Amino acid sequence: MAQSTQYTEDNIRSLDWKEHIRMRPGMYIGKLGDGSSPDDGIYILIKEVLDNCIDEFVMGAGKTIEISIQGNKVIVRDYGRGIPLGKVVDVVSKMNTGGKYDTRAFKKSVGLNGVGTKAVNALSTYFRVESTRDGKSRAAEFELGELKDEESLNETSRRRGTKVSFIPDESIFKKYKYRNEYIERMVKNYVYLNPGLTIVFNGEKYFSENGLKDLLQDNTNAEDMLYPIVHLRGDDIEIALTHSKTQYSEEYHSFVNGQNTTQGGTHLAAFREAVVKTIRDYFGKNYDASDVRKSIIGAISIKVMEPVFESQTKTKLGSTDMGGGLPTVRTYINDFVGTQLDNFLHKNHDVAEAIQKKILQAERERKELSGIRKLARERAKKASLHNKKLRDCRVHLTDLKKDNRLDTTIFITEGDSASGSITKSRDVNTQAVFSLRGKPLNSYGMTKKVVYENEEFNLLQAALNIEESMEDLRYNNIVIATDADVDGMHIRLLLITFFLQFFPELIKEGHLYILQTPLFRVRNKKETIYCYSEEEKLAAIGKLKGRPEITRFKGLGEISPDEFKHFIGDDIRLDPVMLDKAMSIEELLKFYMGKNTPDRQEFIINNLKVELDAVE
């Protein structure tokens, strides 16, 4: 008989606001992470502060925002109205307190109920807020949400506005590091969506005159555009779109009230539907939706009254209504696109002709591939049932999926020993493993047909669920886990080539990573230190003194499952795969995977030799 557990008044506990945030940070800022991913919590902290600054700009107060990051200290300064001086402490430390409850002041706000800055406060070892207005200022300092110092009202000649400084807590964000590339992307999105706004990040100014048109131009090589960007604006909506000459999949950027909804939502679904319907109606042809959308690069931004998001991090819109007496999101977007895009096509026959040629080309390719795709799907289905190439995680087998999507990871490994070690040491709830058999094919210059004909690529595509759209991506983090030797680096390059060739948006949107594992283990009887470089090894030897035992890991398979837990758990080290803005995807692929050239030989001699020497 099971032993009964006492359940009395002593079991009931009430947490104050900061304790609740610190105990359940994921509820407020999504996943934690160390800064290697663009959706890691340290960037959400910056976003929460910036959202308040953007709301001030939207309300017509303050055209400049300044951001400074030195080490781990973040400073954000706006020139808005400033927090009412009598509420400076309350606004950043009392739940259910904020100006955004008053919809007269914030009709289409980015933030949600003033929770954001309180989460930043509670999750920072240092937090300072200073407000200036009407020639007076007041400031307060906190530590882990606890008020440490409150300055009295002071006379000042400084310009009005709010200044927030904070240092994230290293006990929650372990070994974190800010990556400027991710912050620059966030800053650019803010200025694209707010023409007239200037953001200064570490001394560099960001400004946009043409909104979403600038976004697509900055993210797409001009030579790869099938036709000039179509850019349309309405009162509460803005769209931009073009088709790629070479890209296979769809690529979208979506926003609600200035928030980058990386997981889409009702507005993106309506946009995709509206584009197809409008083009079908214009040509009077019932084209297959996949043919119309193939290779499309689009962006949409809408403004909604009191939007409902599916999480505090606001990455997916759940609202079905625009609010303010407007129709549903779906109807509003369909009506706008149906009218404005149709008008544009009637006035720009060259663009309409280019779109039709692209659709007919996609239709021919789809029909040519139809038989192969059917066989490929059957093979993938059979393989998933009868072999162990994919060891899935429980998120996809239970109802945990919705809440844990940001934490899902798939490791792409080489060889049975490496995949075995990772499989035994992984978190079965959120981490999956895909095992490669030998080196992947060099897919440079090949057509999409190879994805279905090559068993490895076909099964990988099926595991990721990316055949039709990135919206269906099953894992937020795709991690290449190979040995740190010549063969391992070659496999990395071949996999990156595959993704660049057929699914470049996976890399553009920050989903692809390289797993870093230690090269050395240095230990004595009391302590073990894992080292990722020769420098770290020398430092560990100096720390442990004497003659510690030194082990050189030649491959992932040599690392036991018990040890692997350290390298794919809380202390995981990931290097994001990022695109070189100076080169187009075609130029990158040609340089690295095309015929040998003197330039590439010189690059290998000057760069890779150093890296390889470190792992010998």
Residue 107 and residue 322: Cα distance in Å, rounded?
12
Write the CB contacts of 600 (distance below 8 Å, at least 6 apart in sequence). Answer: 591, 592
| Length, in residues, of the chain | 616
Give kind and range of the element (H or E) at residue 288: none
Residue 154 and residue 140: Cα distance in Å, rounded?
12
DSSP string, 304-368: -SS--BSSTT--SB---B--TT--BHHHHHHHHHHHHHHHHHHH-HHHHHHHHHHHHHHHHHHHH
Q: Provide the residue ranges of all domains of the chain, joining segments of one domain with +.
A: 17-206, 212-366, 387-517+553-613
- In angstroms, what is the C-alpha Rg of the chain? 26
Residue 132 and residue 150: Cα distance in Å, rounded?
14
Start-to-end CA distance of the chain, whole Å, equals 60
Report pLDDT for 113: 43
Phi, psi of 314 (to 5 degrees): 60, 45
DSSP string, 159-217: PSEEEEEEEE-TTTSTT----HHHHHHHHHHHHHHSTT-EEEETTEEE--SSTHHHHHH
Report pLDDT for 100: 53
What is the number of other CB atoms lying within 10 angstroms of the CB of residue 140?
A: 21
Six token digits for residue 451: 């994805």
Report pLDDT for 465: 87
State which amino acid sits at residue 34.
Answer: D
Q: How distant is the alpha carbon of residue 466 from its chain centre?
A: 16
Six token digits for residue 558: 């040599």
Report pLDDT for 112: 46
Residue 538: CA count within 13 A, CB half-sphere: 4
Report pLDDT for 108: 60
Q: What share of the chain is helix, strand, coil (3-state, %, to 5)?
A: 45, 20, 35
> pLDDT below 50 — which residues of the chain?
1-2, 7, 12, 101, 103-105, 112-113, 399-403, 608-616
- If DSSP codes are grouped into helix, strand and coil, which group holds residue 243? strand
In CATH, the number for domain 212-366 is 3.30.230.10
Residue 367 and residue 381: Cα distance in Å, rounded?
21
Report pLDDT for 483: 83
Report pLDDT for 8: 55
Give kind and range of the element (H or E) at residue 430: none
Which letter does DSSP use for residue 557 in this model?
G
Q: How distant is the alpha carbon of residue 78 from its chain centre?
A: 25
Residue 93 and residue 147: Cα distance in Å, rounded?
8
Does domain 387-517+553-613 fall under CATH 3.40.50.670? My reply is: yes
Which letter does DSSP use for residue 295 in this model?
T
Give kind and range of the element (H or E) at residue 428: none
Residue 242: which of 390, 348, 143, 171 has the closest Cα?
Answer: 348
Residue 111 and residue 309: Cα distance in Å, rounded?
11
Residue 335 and residue 339: Cα distance in Å, rounded?
6
Report pLDDT for 501: 86
Architecture of domain 17-206: 2-Layer Sandwich (3.30)
Residue 482 and residue 415: Cα distance in Å, rounded?
9
Report pLDDT for 559: 82
Report pLDDT for 205: 96
Report pLDDT for 86: 87
